Chain A
Amino acid sequence: MTGGRIRNNIRKLRFNAGEMTQQELAEKIGVTRQTVLAIEGEKYSPSLEVAFRIAHVFGVPLDEVFQYEASAV
């Protein structure tokens, strides 16, 4: 099955984490601010390693950060 979409709650999680900036999150997970921007805007799906790092920063399970939305076949 192809054509699914990966949604994320990073913007909400950043807000709940004391309004963490994209730059702060980028520094914590070792990517550039533009990559955080692209992930939040669902223009880039990060590697599993970066995805786990994001979940670790917010102290939540991975599926609370990312959700896979299968396309209707």
Chain B
Amino acid sequence: MFDLSYQEKSILGSVAAMVLVYGYYFSAVLRDVGRREFGSGSLGRLIFAVIALIVIQVVYHTALALESHPEPKDERDTLIESKAYRTAYFFLTTGISLLAAGIIVINTVALHSREAWGTVTPFATVNLILLAMVLAESAKLLTQLFYYRRGLR
């Protein structure tokens, strides 16, 4: 149906791996959202997710290299990638800024409130930073796919 380049197939594999691994990881994190500490169980899950992502990527890209002739990046690939990095940068800086502002506001309110306010725990902070990074990487990959399909005029 689509005449996909080697780079597009590579990106599609990365998107699928990220959805699979981080979908599992963040669904597990949501179940633990009430926890206060980033304990050894949570750390183990994070390490497992990172290793699983690496293994899936290596297996997929090895199979892809055997199935289709790997092509080095040319000037169009580099241009598309640089545009995609711009999108990723926007997502990352926005995510981190919102997170920092959120932590300051929530913790300040908690400090001065007589009500029982919760603070942002290390567990939540680490996972929100990771989420911002995952969203930025996803935005990069999807921007690349968009420009490969729509073209650069």
Residues of A within 8 A of B (CB): 5, 30-35, 37-38, 41-47, 50
Which residues does chain A contribute within 8 Å of B71, judged by CB atoms?
Answer: 32
| Chain B, residue nearest A43 (CB) | B151
Cross-chain contact A50 with B151 (CB below 8 angstroms):
no
Given contacts A32-B5, A34-B3, A34-B5, contact A47 B151 (CB under 8 A): no
Can you list, as one digit per residue, whether each of B114-153 has a CB less than 8 Å from chain A (1) or not (0)? 0000000000000000000000000000000000101111
Whether B83 is near chain A, meaning CB under 8 Å from some CB there, is no
Can you list, as one digit per residue, whether each of B53-93 has a CB less than 8 Å from chain A (1) or not (0)? 00000000000000000010011110000000000000000
Which residues does chain A contribute within 8 Å of B8, judged by CB atoms?
Answer: 34
Cross-chain contact B3 with A50 (CB below 8 angstroms):
no
Residues of B within 8 A of A (CB): 3, 5-8, 71, 74-77, 148, 150-153
| Chain A, residue nearest B72 (CB) | A32
Cross-chain contact B76 with A35 (CB below 8 angstroms):
yes
Cα A45 to Cα B153 with chains together (Å): 6
Cα A31 to Cα B153 with chains together (Å): 17
Cross-chain contact A47 with B75 (CB below 8 angstroms):
yes
Cα A42 to Cα B74 with chains together (Å): 17
Which residues does chain A contribute within 8 Å of B150, judged by CB atoms?
Answer: 43
Residue among B7, B76, B151, B152 with max Cβ neighbours from chain A (10 Å)? B76
- Partner of A37 from B3, B6, B153 at Cβ < 8 Å: B3
Which residues does chain B contribute within 8 Å of A50, judged by CB atoms?
Answer: 75
- Partner of B152 from A31, A32, A37, A45 at Cβ < 8 Å: A45
Q: A32-B74, A44-B153, A50-B75 are in contact. List 8 more A-B contacts (CB 8 A).
A: A5-B153, A31-B76, A32-B71, A32-B77, A34-B3, A34-B5, A38-B76, A38-B152
